[in-house]
A and B are shown apart, each in its own frame.
Chain A
Amino acid sequence: MSEQPPVIEVCHVSRRFSRRLDLVQRVARRLGARVHERTVHAVDDVSLTIGEGEAVGLVGESGCGKSTLGRLVAGIDTPSAGEVRFRGQPVAQDDSEAARRTALKIQMIFQDPLDSLNPRHRMGRIVGEGARYHRVVPSGEIDSHVDTVLEQVGLDPSMKSRFPHQFSGGQRQRIGIARALAVRPEVVVCDESVASLDVSIQAQIINLFMRLRAELGLAYLFISHDIGVVRHIADRVVVMYLGRVVEEGPTKTLFDAPNHPYTQALMSEVPRLDNRHVDFNPITGEIPSPLDPPSGCHFHPRCPHAHERCRMEVPRLKRLADGRFSACHLNDA
């Protein structure tokens, strides 16, 4: 391995959302009422890296912050703290030429194919606009470039004049993928990109992702709530819960021997085709609201092994073995 910086580095990134107090509330606070800003720590001090051509899977349930993190990596959102770096350089948010070049290198594929395509634009424009505007290829070659990309994703170039609603769900997702590929990215963030597809179409799109990765050497951040899909496509998996990373490791070891109690619960509770006549016995408790997370380890109210320390102290992400990390006090014993 060369000494080059990793393709993507997320360094202690946090993203907070707070509702600012309006005039009435500020006056009330001045007068002594106990009014305070409500802050949601959607992403709380998260660090991770994506290496050259690596596929990193990001899993977690509602409110874990994986989608927010994906947007931060793709550059659509700005962190409240910390930094996202592309090949060692911070991903800037200004309008400079450098910022735009970097933005094109990190592309995103969205969850809802219908919502992520402008219903008023024809397919050809959707796929080619970015590439055309930024002159990714010389202007004379742009049409053939778009055609090539379309063929790569399995779409018929003669359908360029159609509108999104005239395509099926799977085809729309392919359009989104073509749009991303047209600007020659190096990293692709897939945010629940197969969630809204039927199983048989999902298989087609997953195969497409894998083929493109092999052909183009792309790196992926694959965000999904579907653990089975992540297991299939990712080299490494990061598990998040309520804004924090709770476990991280190579796919096989994480699935075979999950360390963190939350990961264990997730693995045992995900329905598997081979598990028949199951006696369901899941962990109890609701997923807490991000507006009011539990103290200390966020998972402690639902954890079967929780003890006093879990309530008081936030566990740090500790290295267990090569590439394996887990944030649980039980590992200290």
Chain B
Amino acid sequence: MVAPASMPTLEVEGLETRFITRRGPVPAIRDISLTVNKGEIVGLVGESGSGKSVTGLSIMGLIEAPGEVSAGKVLLNGEDLRKVSRRRLRQLRGDRIAMVFQDPMMTLNPVLRIRTQMVEAIHAHDQSVGAEAARQRCRDALAQVGIPSPEERLDAYPHQFSGGMRQRVAIAIALLNRPDLIIADEPTTALDVTIQAQILAVVQSLCREHGTALIWITHDLSVVAGLAERIYVMYGGCVVEQGGVDAVLDRPLHPYTDGLIRSVPWHNEPGRPLNQIRGMVPPLDRMPKGCRFWPRCDRATEGCRAPVALDEIRTGQRARCIHPLVESR
């Protein structure tokens, strides 16, 4: 099925995932809509409890009981992943859409050699590839992610690599079948600065060369600032702001986004107290009604207790707030 060039690689509409607990269903994410175009890098930013990881897993169809995706559409090149058969989903996963996790050992099997796992990933989607051709593709993938002496490295086991190298191998596996979309969930959070920079370079060149779309899920606004073209900010299971990276970071609309930006140490003058957002993220089963953020917001009024829609307040920039920060900073 060939998609027209203008169709976005991924279109998510109204996605909702919930967890069934002893006390009833608890929504983890609600009303999530996002779009990623061909070759585009999109950042999904949020702190713990925001639902960003659940969003990534829901798109991939990896949510299992007691969780379930309860509403919404996930259109990959026009095909709704929520409606396809399990067989088709398995065909697509690893082939057209792939995921990279924070811990590379979630991808890598410690008892298999790298080549075994990589060749398996190729054959799972295309039986016709010969052994030598498969090996060549694996070698190329490793070289692309910057692993020196790929020929020897193919025969190694995961524990023989350092943390940064393992993550690169995980990315190489994700790329093997040239997927249209990669979802990366905190892939560099556990890595050192210089190694993270290398991985960012790898990922950036791959997206540019092959037109792979990328969703980069992280809590680190600074990484997304350099890497992404558009940002979605999540809080309490909803998208609270979205837009171009410059617009959102220089002229945030939502008080949470603003608070988050101001909390970053580099953004503040050394020695002065950092801006902090008071209070804490409430647990999933005790989310406030209406705007999720109002108990911690300095601009909250009575109207904030009612559900708020994600409105386009400026061209190309949306925020879920009835008191957005429209004055310039």
Chain A residues at the B interface, C-beta cutoff of 8 Å: 61-62, 168-170, 198-204, 206-207, 210-211, 225-229, 231-233, 251-252, 265-266, 269-284, 286-287, 289
Contacts and interface: CB of A to CB of B under 8 A. Distances in A.
6 contacts: A199-B219, A199-B263, A210-B271, A271-B222, A272-B222, A272-B226
B194 interface: yes
- Among A201, A225, A271, A278, max chain B CB count under 10 A is at A271
Given A199-B219, A270-B193, A271-B220, A170 B266 contact: no
B12 interface: no
Given A200-B47, A229-B265, A287-B162, A273 B192 contact: no
A281 B226 CA distance: 12
Nearest to B268: A232
Find the residue from A199, A232, A251, A281 having the highest chain B CB count within 10 A: A199
Given A275-B225, A278-B200, 17 more contacts: A62-B192, A169-B48, A198-B219, A198-B281, A202-B263, A228-B265, A233-B270, A251-B270, A271-B222, A271-B225, A271-B226, A272-B226, A276-B246, A281-B201, A284-B146, A286-B165, A287-B194
- Main secondary structure, interface of B, reads helix
A170 B265 CA distance: 17
B226 A206 contact: no
Contact of B276 (A204, A231, A266, A276): A204
Contact of A271 (B47, B192, B223): B223
Interface in B267-287: 267-268, 270-271, 273-277, 280-281
Nearest to A289: B162
Contacts of A289: 162
B204 interface: yes
B219 A274 contact: no
Contacts of A169: 48
Residue among A200, A279, A284 having the largest count of chain B Cβ atoms under 10 Å: A200
Contact of B274 (A168, A207, A273, A281): A207
A61 B162 CA distance: 13
Nearest to A275: B226
A200 B255 CA distance: 13
Contacts of B265: 203, 206, 226, 228-229, 231-233
B221 A273 contact: yes
B270 A231 contact: yes
Nearest to B263: A203
Nearest to B205: A280
